[in-house]
Amino acid sequence: MTAPTGWLPAPVEELFGPDSTAEESYEILTVDVPPSSWLAALETARTTLSCTFFDWLSAVDEPGTGFRVSAHLVALTPVRRLLLRTTVPHSAPELPSAVDVYAGARWHERETHEMFGVRFSGHPGLDHLLLPETFEGHPLRKDFVLAARVAKAWPGAKEPGESDHGGPRRRQMLPPGVPDPNEWGPLKGQLPPAPARPARAAAGRSAGERPARTPGERPVRRSRTAAEGSASQAVGAGDAAGPAPAAEA
């Protein structure tokens, strides 16, 4: 049995079960529990740790791991913050609803179900909350296709080379989630392959230029003494020292 972590009154294994872990950072105590202990951990946080204030509940899609569901709970006297987390697999994203323990979780579980597809069994109604009733998919999943730039042309002339911009066209970068229009969408297989970026040629140098610096070499700053003066002063001095024009006869 390990020592208590942070402000916990007992070791985390004793409070939340043998498979739970805890760490404290930036005055937030984070406890990870298995999905089977999720509801019991919420009840422990409310009754044993006096975390009576429910702040929020949400999830994060961790590719290759699952959906990490987190609930932020607060004890008010004194103020202590607890982040309770669990991870459900992508193949079966389901947890028991926390509504019976924290009534405020009802709205947050609806949003998490809508955005990530995590189902909360026992919830009174996992209806659409922010998206239209006809919306398909879960937009905060990492595998959700962001098809706006493919299905509909971008309305503004914001990229060089588009809409008679006049400048050279640069290589377009696809943000995460945006598919290649030649691989997905109405233009699939109809576009030529994207050209490769040309190699950057070494810029030519004139005979009077200094050679290029090697990596890690510090630039050498030229300095002038007070006697030498600036370049403009040198030119002026040379003009003044030149031969005076001959007097008219």
For the chain, give every domain's residue range.
12-151
3-state SS assignment for residue 12: helix
Q: How far, in Å, CA of 102 to CA of 147, rounded?
A: 37
Give residues with Cβ within 8 angstroms of 112, minimum separation 6. 57, 58, 59, 69, 118, 120
* Residue 134 pLDDT > 60: yes
Q: Where do we find the tokens 């972590």?
A: 5
Q: Where do we find the tokens 């098809």?
A: 147
Q: How far, in Å, CA of 124 to CA of 129, rounded?
A: 14
* Residue 245 pLDDT > 60: no
Reported confidence tier of residue 238, pLDDT bands at 50, 70, 90: very low
Q: How far, in Å, CA of 126 to CA of 94, rounded?
A: 13
For the stretch 155-205, pLDDT in tens is 554 555 555 555 555 565 666 667 777 777 777 777 776 554 444 554 444
Q: How far, in Å, CA of 20 to CA of 94, rounded?
A: 19
Q: What is the pTM of this model?
A: 0.62
Residue-level pLDDT at 241: 47
Residue-level pLDDT at 196: 46
Strand blocks (E) in the chain = 21-25, 28-32, 53-62, 66-76, 79-88, 94-96, 119-121
Comparing 233 with 122, the larger pLDDT belongs to 122
DSSP state of 33: -
For the stretch 33-62, pLDDT in tens is 999 999 999 999 999 999 999 999 999 999
Residue-level pLDDT at 46: 97
Reported confidence tier of residue 210, pLDDT bands at 50, 70, 90: low
Top-tier CATH class for 12-151? alpha beta
Residue-level pLDDT at 240: 47
**Range in 187-191, 238-242, 244-248 the model is least confident about:** 238-242
Q: How far, in Å, CA of 99 to CA of 108, rounded?
A: 10
- Across the chain, mean pLDDT equals 79
For the stretch 66-108, pLDDT in tens is 999 999 999 999 999 999 999 999 999 999 999 999 999 999 9
